Amino acid sequence: MSHRIVIVGGGAGGLELATRLGRSLGKRGQANITLVDCNLTHIWKPLLHEVAAGSLNSSWDELNYVAQAKWNHFEFQLGRMCGLDRTRKCIQLAATHDEHGFELVPEREIGYDTLVIAVGSTTNDFGTSGAAEHCIFLDTREQAERFHSQFLSHYLRAHAREGNDATQIDIAIIGAGATGVELAAELHHAAHQLAAYGLDGITPENLRITLIEAGPRVLPALPERIGKPVHETLEKLGVRVITGAAVSEVTRDGLKTNQGQTLAANLMVWAAGIRAPAFLRELGGLESNRINQLLVRPTLQTTLDDDIFAFGDCAACPQPGSEGRNVPPRAQAAHQQASLLAKSIKLRIAGQALPEYRYRDYGSLISLSSFSAVGNLMGNLMGSVKLEGWLARMFYISLYRLHQMALYGTTRTLLLMLSDRIGRSTEPRLKLH
């Protein structure tokens, strides 16, 4: 019987791992690889702020799991993991229902010899009063599309009303990390595009964006040499930046900070903090931390079970030489871990020792829509090199192309790039529905 590998989570890391293993072990019949996800399609999570602003039509850039599985010799199962039986070595999947409540796929179990959990993370609202009820998170494509729909509705209503008085819209973004910063810039770009298409009931000047950060500066997880020019660019674009102020309460009409400020807002996005999905807490008796991440060893095996691996945002992996800190929850870490696990699982099947993961920081890039990009690249030969403007923007775009190459291969990625170029000349530059 072939070795059964089950990967739960079709995000960037889990999908890349399934694809790599399918092309090697699956193609040669050395293992049965199954990818489990609660959605039928994948979109790269760092693009969700573009979906929210309408700069990206998610239907164009989505990947279908069923088709990807067929092309790359693995199996796809639709479902949401809800339980784990480590004794019987199987996972439980909850029943899946359609939008009308009808059962599409029943509850079921899937057996494994090696289990990999790569379910990513969700936004952490830190229990802030009213945040879950009144803010939109950007964890999923559906949430990003919901924001875009509400954002566009304000413009359509303003365009349809009588009179020439411009309507004002206030958007508050809580959290000045990469998602919050990039969303603010993308929305500013969208405002100009919407006006150019004739939806001028709300002028770009009357779209007021406020970015609120509890820390002392924007992009607190990145070096200050990156955060400072980003802050300056945002202010030049007209984005109001408030630092050192934590949101203490969110209401239907706005929010309050711990500094006593009250800000009115028509739309509010919570983009501060992460935590792993709640079902991981004590899943099958595995160890987890206060934000639900599974504790893993440097081999990415969970601390209590050698047959179960976890990686990406849902795993707390120790970072050697960093005074007890864990590997940061970044896309490059998940990519590195997926590459390592593709080798480790082959070694595991062969009965050989597993390598340990060591995080390598290759730098950070922040996109400010079409206006600019800022970042730094790091490597053994060049040290740390700061990038700004057009060059940084090109490197930022290349990150997504590298993700596509890992999934589609070089030839298909080049064809996708050509298709994107042609599509831009025949389609609106902004999603208008």
pLDDT of the residue at 398: 79
CB 341 within 8 A of CB 116: yes
The domain locations on the chain are 3-121+276-349, 131-271, 363-426
User: Residue 405: helix, strand or coil by DSSP?
Assistant: helix
CB 244 within 8 A of CB 215: yes
- Max mean pLDDT range (80-89, 327-336, 393-402): 80-89
Q: What is the rounded average pLDDT of the residues 124-139? A: 95
User: Residue 371: helix, strand or coil by DSSP?
Assistant: coil
Q: What is the rounded average pLDDT of the residues 403-408? A: 86
Assign a CATH topology to domain 3-121+276-349: FAD/NAD(P)-binding domain (3.50.50)
Q: What is the rounded average pLDDT of the residues 380-403? A: 67
C-alpha span between 392 and 174 (Å, rounded) = 25
Q: What is the rounded average pLDDT of the residues 98-120? A: 93
Residue 81: beta bridge partners? 93
Site of tokens 């040499």: 225
Q: What is the rounded average pLDDT of the residues 202-210? A: 92
State which CATH number among 3.50.50.60, 3.40.50.10860, 1.25.40.10, 3.40.50.10540 fits the domain covering 131-271.
3.50.50.60
Q: What is the rounded average pLDDT of the residues 359-369? A: 82
User: Residue 9: helix, strand or coil by DSSP?
Assistant: coil
pLDDT of the residue at 104: 87
pLDDT of the residue at 382: 46
Site of tokens 């999934």: 407
pLDDT over 80 (residue 396): no
Neighbours of 108 (CB within 10 A): 13
C-alpha span between 232 and 228 (Å, rounded) = 6
Judge whether 3-121+276-349 and 131-271 match in fold: yes
What would the pLDDT profile of 264-291 be if each residue is shown by its tens digit?
A: 999 999 999 999 999 999 899 999 999 9
pLDDT over 60 (residue 370): yes
From the number of C-beta atoms within 10 Å of its C-beta (0-12, 13-18, 19+), residue 190 rates as: buried
The pTM assigned to this predicted structure is 0.91
pLDDT over 70 (residue 409): yes
